[in-house]
């Protein structure tokens, strides 16, 4: 007789209690995705450099108009709290000390992908869309392109385009901000 194995999924609150109890530490590379604790691969220098570069570019150009948050959690719903590489957030005087940002607090996200491109596209992007994150840039380091995803819906992003070397990006929330692809994908 076959036995049906049951999975136990966690809420964000339960996940936070595990963090407080020391089950996971801030140094552990984990995210809560759809109630499951997902261990993320180690970050290599290529990934680090691209995250640092895009965060520096966005931070310098946006100044006090937004908060550029690097590899910090965002709460999408009661069962998902990913850590996107860069989150461009609505400015708040408390810098989100009182609460982790939610989909409504986000102007746009940036995910830098070298080894996790399929996971980012197939798992994280649909979650971001369902949470109403208005725009996501997916830096595909292997293909040397940026995918721009806009118009979130319950079924994913309705608008997606690719940008390659020589092109520039302008986030919908900041039409005066221009980022050249060659600045980002070096």
Nearest Cα to 109, choosing from 93, 118, 119, 120?
Answer: 120
Is position 14 within any domain?
no
Output the pLDDT for position 91.
95
Contact 67, 119 (CB under 8 A): no
Nearest Cα to 169, choosing from 157, 158, 185, 180?
Answer: 180
Output the pLDDT for position 33.
94
Is position 170 within any domain?
yes
Determine the average pLDDT of the residues in 62-75: 97
Determine the average pLDDT of the residues in 20-29: 87
Is position 150 within any domain?
yes
Is position 35 within any domain?
no
Measured distance CA(75)–CA(141) in Å, rounded:
26
Is position 86 within any domain?
yes
Using one digit for the tens of pLDDT, what is the confidence trace for 119-139?
999 999 999 999 999 999 999
Residues of the chain above pLDDT 90, percent = 87
**DSSP secondary structure code for residue 122 in this structure:** I
| Count of structural domains, the chain | 1
Is residue 132 within a helix (H) or strand (E), and if so which, with residue range? none
- Is residue 170 pLDDT above 90, yes or no? yes
CATH number for position 73: 3.90.1570.10
- Is residue 5 pLDDT above 80, yes or no? no
Residue with tokens 């980022």: 179
- Is residue 42 pLDDT above 80, yes or no? yes
Determine the average pLDDT of the residues in 11-39: 91
Measured distance CA(112)–CA(26) in Å, rounded:
20
Output the pLDDT for position 139.
97
Task: For residue 129, give its domain range.
Answer: 43-184
- Is residue 26 pLDDT above 80, yes or no? no
Is position 85 within any domain?
yes
Joined tokens for residue 15: 């996940």
Beta-strand relationship, 106-113 and 135-140: parallel
Output the pLDDT for position 1.
64
Output the pLDDT for position 119.
94
**DSSP secondary structure code for residue 149 in this structure:** E
Is position 69 within any domain?
yes
- Is residue 178 pLDDT above 80, yes or no? yes
Q: What is the DSSP string of 74-120?
A: -B-BTTBB---SEEEEE--TTTTSSS--BGGGEEEEEEEESS-HHHI
Considering the entire predicted model, what is its pTM? 0.93
Measured distance CA(151)–CA(149) in Å, rounded:
7
Is position 59 within any domain?
yes
- Is residue 58 pLDDT above 90, yes or no? yes
**Residue 58 CB partners (closer than 8 Å, separation 6+):** 66, 68, 86, 88, 110, 177, 179
- Is residue 2 pLDDT above 90, yes or no? no
């Amino acid at each position: 007789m076959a036995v049906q194995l049951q999975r136990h999924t966690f809420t964000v609150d339960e996940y936070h209690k595990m963090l407080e109890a020391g089950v996971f530490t801030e140094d552990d590379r984990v995210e809560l995705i759809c109630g499951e604790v997902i261990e993320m691969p180690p970050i290599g220098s290529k990934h680090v450099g691209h995250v640092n570069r895009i965060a520096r570019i966005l931070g310098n150009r946006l100044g006090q108009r937004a908060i550029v948050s690097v590899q910090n959690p965002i709460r999408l719903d009661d069962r998902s709290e990913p850590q996107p590489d860069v989150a461009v957030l609505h400015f708040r005087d408390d810098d989100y000390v009182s609460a982790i940002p939610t989909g409504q607090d986000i102007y746009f996200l940036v995910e830098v992908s070298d080894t996790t491109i399929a996971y980012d596209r197939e798992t994280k992007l649909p979650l971001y869309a369902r949470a109403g994150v208005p725009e996501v840039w997916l830096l595909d380091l292997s293909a040397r392109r940026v995918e721009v995803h806009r118009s979130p819906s319950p079924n994913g992003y309705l608008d997606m385009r690719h940008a390659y070397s020589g092109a520039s990006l302008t986030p919908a929330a900041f039409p005066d901000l221009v980022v050249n692809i060659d600045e980002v994908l070096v």
